[in-house]
Amino acid sequence: FIRKKDELGVQLNEVQLQAVRQTEGPLLLLASPGSGKTTTVIMRIGYLIEEKRINPARIKAITFSRTAANDMRERFKRFFPDVQPVDFSTIHSLAFKVVRESFRKKRTAYQIIEGDIDKEKDAFNSQQPLLHKKIILRNLFNTIVGENITDDQLDELTTYISYIKNKMLSADQYSQMNMNVPKAVQIFKEYESFKKTGAGKLLLDYDDMLVLANEMLEKDQELLHNYQQSYDYVLTDESQDTSLVQHAIIEKLVKRHQNLCVVADDDQAIYSWRGAEPSYLLNFKQVYPDANILYMEQNYRSSKEIVTVANQFIKRNKQRYDKNMFTENAADTSIQLTSLPDYQFQAKYLVRAIADSENFADVAILYRNNASSIALMNEFDRAGIPFYMKDVDNRFFSHWVVQDILNFMRMAFTDKRFDILEKIHMKFNGYISKKQMEALKRIHNHESVFDNLLQYVPLQPYQVKNLKNCKKTLKQMKDMRPKHAIHVIREQLGYEKALEKMCERLGFRREYLIGILNTLEEIADTLETLEDFANRLKYLATVLKTAKRRKGQNAVTFSTFHSAKGLEFEKVYMIDLIEGMIPSTDETKNEKEEKDMLEEAVRLFYVGMTRAKTYLELISYEARDGKKAVESQFVTAVKQIMSPNKMAIENKEVTNGKKVVRYGKKASNIQFNPNAVQDRTKLMVGNLIKHRVFGHGEIVKCDGDTIEIRFQAKMKILSITTCIE
């Protein structure tokens, strides 16, 4: 089995082998990025099937997202083309199965109220009453707060609710959370009761499924028994992002046999905001007293510079298991830091950098916010470079700011349509009030709305002046190049000022809205006519949809840092690396929350860096949207780590002996501890030893190149012996 796998270029190391072979009982594999966690899980499954003759149907592999599950299935097929694949799925789909079965038994009517945003949009447009989580929350907010909810508030509210359920928080706990959303607690409570009684059947969102599945397995012994009998082996990847309620489900599932393999890296925990519970791993031994814990620190993915810098970088964080990632891969110089004069050059710069790539599928562009993808998409499409997008932000093209701009342009062709004016009447320097609009509505003469306003509707003196100008400007706009037209809408017609007022009044995020306008200008850049512009937007919206399907083809990947987790690419470009973007800012958080958020941002940045195999480029810029931009403190940190001075210090640290165990004996610039045991045959089970970093311990196992030592704090598997005195 093992030799066969060698042919595929992966020769498992000792720890990996141990993790593969130790199939019975609980096992926690805590390991650095690129150290082969996912590979080990896949090999272990193959081993169970091929060597132990386990029926694939008895094995359950759980990952964190549907994409991750697909990725695993594909990798599995590559390694084991002839083996019937096992059930790779998300914990949500497992929970859904449990819930569905239980409800069928009890004949309970229910409906899932979360899912495809596209469908949700259609429902919004067609004004059908649709039972969807976001619509329900919107309505509740409206009734309880008496205002319209902003997109940001809606995002925060859904995250809040998800957090409460995943963390299994009590009313006391969630009532005390800091929120940007007014009356969040009350909205949450009413949301819960609406789902129970508001629709004649039970309504469930995705998190409800987790909570319910956990409860059902708890209460219904028969159901529990059935599930416990269904699988003999359970494996979970990316477990640092597993939430408490999810852990609880898994605990129940494996209770009978405890054949559970959990794979995780606490440094890559990036979903705490949604209720993930990486600290659960710290208590793994308490839940599973028989558990074996293995550590892996050798990175097989990235070249040496990337590994060394990323390893130093993650040490900024205080709340972590101290690990030291190292690699034996080539030491090429592979990190480049780039600072552009302005944001507007970024997409073009990337096109130039990537255009000559041999294989586009080797390249990924990673960003913090999905909104970044629109400008990229526009440039790459223009340059004819194919791209694949993991999570598509289809909010852009239907965003009201985009619609507003199009409506202004429509007005350039005809200013006779009341319905168009109605959509923008408060958003330019005419500021036509609701009352004035009502008066205008009563006039049916098919003349210019401006003429009608001026002639029949009582106006303020400034309105008279502005409306006259507006009429003239719109007429001229008809023949303008679209980029110029957008500029005129923003400045002369006063759209931007109106937006700013709305931001103040309604709490919209200014940068985001202005960013949309700038992106529209970029899209308009080389276009000739307003029709061209409208068509281009329509076209890009369809490009966006097809970009989703280009996976596996010769296409550049555009992805958020979050969705890139677990993946790897030859070349990675991390973009928009400015303060406010990463780390992002949130003034409402208290000091402790801010610290936690900063650590999470560090982990997110770390996840990004460790996706790269041979080339990593970090891109920032000095200005954006007419404002000065400040390079992300993370880029500054990387710069410091890379600078020769700093490297000298690091080397000194290494020669101090502190890092010897981690860098391994093959690293050339390391002096070994002269007192270290040189002959490993002298190490035997039961020996008491002293380790330079971990202190006193007892050897519990010797196995080839590795020894397992029980230290006071934890068990450690060490692959070299030079550190032991």
Q: Where do contacts with ligand ATP occur on this chain (CB under 6 A)?
A: 10-13, 16, 31, 33-39, 265, 268, 300-301, 566, 568, 610
**Which one of ligand ATP, Mg ion, none is in contact with 494 (Cβ closer than 5 to 8 A by kind)?**
none
CB of 42 to Mg ion, least distance (A): 10
**Which one of ligand ATP, Mg ion, none is in contact with 31 (Cβ closer than 5 to 8 A by kind)?**
ligand ATP
**Which one of Mg ion, ligand ATP, none is in contact with 63 (Cβ closer than 5 to 8 A by kind)?**
none
User: Of the ranges 100-108, 377-385, 392-400, 561-569, which one interacts with Mg ion (CB under 5 A)?
Assistant: 561-569
CB of 303 to ligand ATP, least distance (A): 12
**Which one of ligand ATP, Mg ion, none is in contact with 13 (Cβ closer than 5 to 8 A by kind)?**
ligand ATP
CB of 68 to Mg ion, least distance (A): 8
Neighbours of 630 (CB within 10 A): 12
How many chain residues are in contact with Mg ion, going by CB under 5 A? 3
Number of H-type helices and E-type strands within the chain: 31, 22
CB of 610 to Mg ion, least distance (A): 10
| 100 or 665: CB nearest ligand ATP | 665
User: Of the ranges 37-45, 210-218, 398-406, 568-576, which one interacts with Mg ion (CB under 5 A)?
Assistant: 37-45
**Inter-axis angle of helices 304-314 and 633-642, nearest 10:** 120
Q: Is 37 annotated as belonging to a binding site?
A: yes
Q: Is 38 annotated as belonging to a binding site?
A: yes
| 301 or 410: CB nearest Mg ion | 301
Please count the CA atoms within 13 angstroms of the CA of 122 that sit on its side-chain side: 4
CB of 38 to Mg ion, least distance (A): 3
Per DSSP (E only), the strands in 18-101 are: 27-31, 59-63, 87-90
Residues 421, 411 contacting (CB under 8 angstroms): yes
Binding flag, residue 38, Mg ion (CB under 5 A): yes
CB of 565 to ligand ATP, least distance (A): 7
| 37 or 427: CB nearest Mg ion | 37
Residues of the chain by 3-state class (helix, strand, coil), percent to 5 = 50, 15, 35
Binding flag, residue 33, Mg ion (CB under 5 A): no
| 42 or 204: CB nearest Mg ion | 42
Calpha distance 49→591 (Å, rounded): 50
Closest CA to 294 of 29, 37, 42, 43: 29
Identify whether 56 is preceded by a cis peptide bond (ω within 30 of 0).
Answer: no
| 344 or 614: CB nearest ligand ATP | 614
**Which one of Mg ion, ligand ATP, none is in contact with 12 (Cβ closer than 5 to 8 A by kind)?**
ligand ATP
Please work out, in degrees rounded to the nearest 5, the angle formed at the alpha carbon of residue 521 by the alpha carbons of 516 and 522: 95
> What values do phi and psi take at 130, rounded to 5?
-120, 135
| 164 or 567: CB nearest ligand ATP | 567
| 566 or 664: CB nearest ligand ATP | 566
| 98 or 607: CB nearest ligand ATP | 607
| 40 or 214: CB nearest Mg ion | 40
Q: Is 31 annotated as belonging to a binding site?
A: yes
Q: Which single residue brings its beta carbon nearest to Mg ion?
A: 38
Pairing relationship of beta strands 110-112 and 387-389 according to DSSP bridges: unpaired
Binding flag, residue 34, Mg ion (CB under 5 A): no
Q: Which single residue brings its beta carbon nearest to ligand ATP?
A: 36
| 559 or 633: CB nearest ligand ATP | 559
Calpha distance 432→445 (Å, rounded): 19
What are 702's two structure tokens?
């010797």
Residues 233, 60 contacting (CB under 8 angstroms): yes
Q: Which residues of 491-514 are buried (b: 16+ CB within 10 A; e: fewer)?
A: ebbbbbebbeebbeeeebeeeebb
CB of 598 to ligand ATP, least distance (A): 21
Q: Is 35 annotated as belonging to a binding site?
A: yes
What are 418's two structure tokens?
């009341």
| 343 or 561: CB nearest Mg ion | 561
Calpha distance 487→497 (Å, rounded): 13
**Which one of Mg ion, ligand ATP, none is in contact with 36 (Cβ closer than 5 to 8 A by kind)?**
ligand ATP
Q: Is 552 annotated as belonging to a binding site?
A: no
| 64 or 188: CB nearest Mg ion | 64
What are 204's two structure tokens?
């469930």
Binding flag, residue 16, Mg ion (CB under 5 A): no
In what side-by-side order are the strands of the sheet with 612-621? 335-340, 612-621, 569-574, 363-367, 556-560, 387-389
CB of 691 to Mg ion, least distance (A): 28
Determine the residue type at 215. E
Pairing relationship of beta strands 695-703 and 688-691 according to DSSP bridges: antiparallel
Closest CA to 658 of 300, 322, 298, 320: 322
Closest CA to 404 of 428, 430, 423, 429: 423
CB of 606 to ligand ATP, least distance (A): 10
Q: Is residue 707 helix, strand or coil?
A: strand
**Which one of Mg ion, ligand ATP, none is in contact with 10 (Cβ closer than 5 to 8 A by kind)?**
ligand ATP
CA of 234: how far to CAs of 86, 211, 252, 446, 481, in Å?
11, 20, 11, 70, 60
Determine the residue type at 527. L
CA of 424: how far to CAs of 407, 429, 431, 482, 706, in Å?
8, 11, 9, 19, 70
Which of 26, 566, 664, 697 binds Mg ion (CB under 5 A)? It is 566
Q: Is 674 annotated as belonging to a binding site?
A: no
Calpha distance 36→34 (Å, rounded): 5
**Which one of Mg ion, ligand ATP, none is in contact with 16 (Cβ closer than 5 to 8 A by kind)?**
ligand ATP
CB of 301 to ligand ATP, least distance (A): 4
CB of 10 to ligand ATP, least distance (A): 5
CB of 346 to ligand ATP, least distance (A): 26
Query: Residues, the chain, total?
Result: 725
User: Of the ranges 253-261, 552-560, 563-571, 699-707, which one interacts with Mg ion (CB under 5 A)?
Assistant: 563-571
Give residue 222's Cα distance to chain centre.
37
Give residue 465's Cα distance to chain centre.
49
Q: Is 129 annotated as belonging to a binding site?
A: no
Binding-site positions for ATP read 31-38
Question: Can you give the binding site for Mg ion, defined by CB under 5 A?
Answer: 37-38, 566
Binding-site positions read 31-38
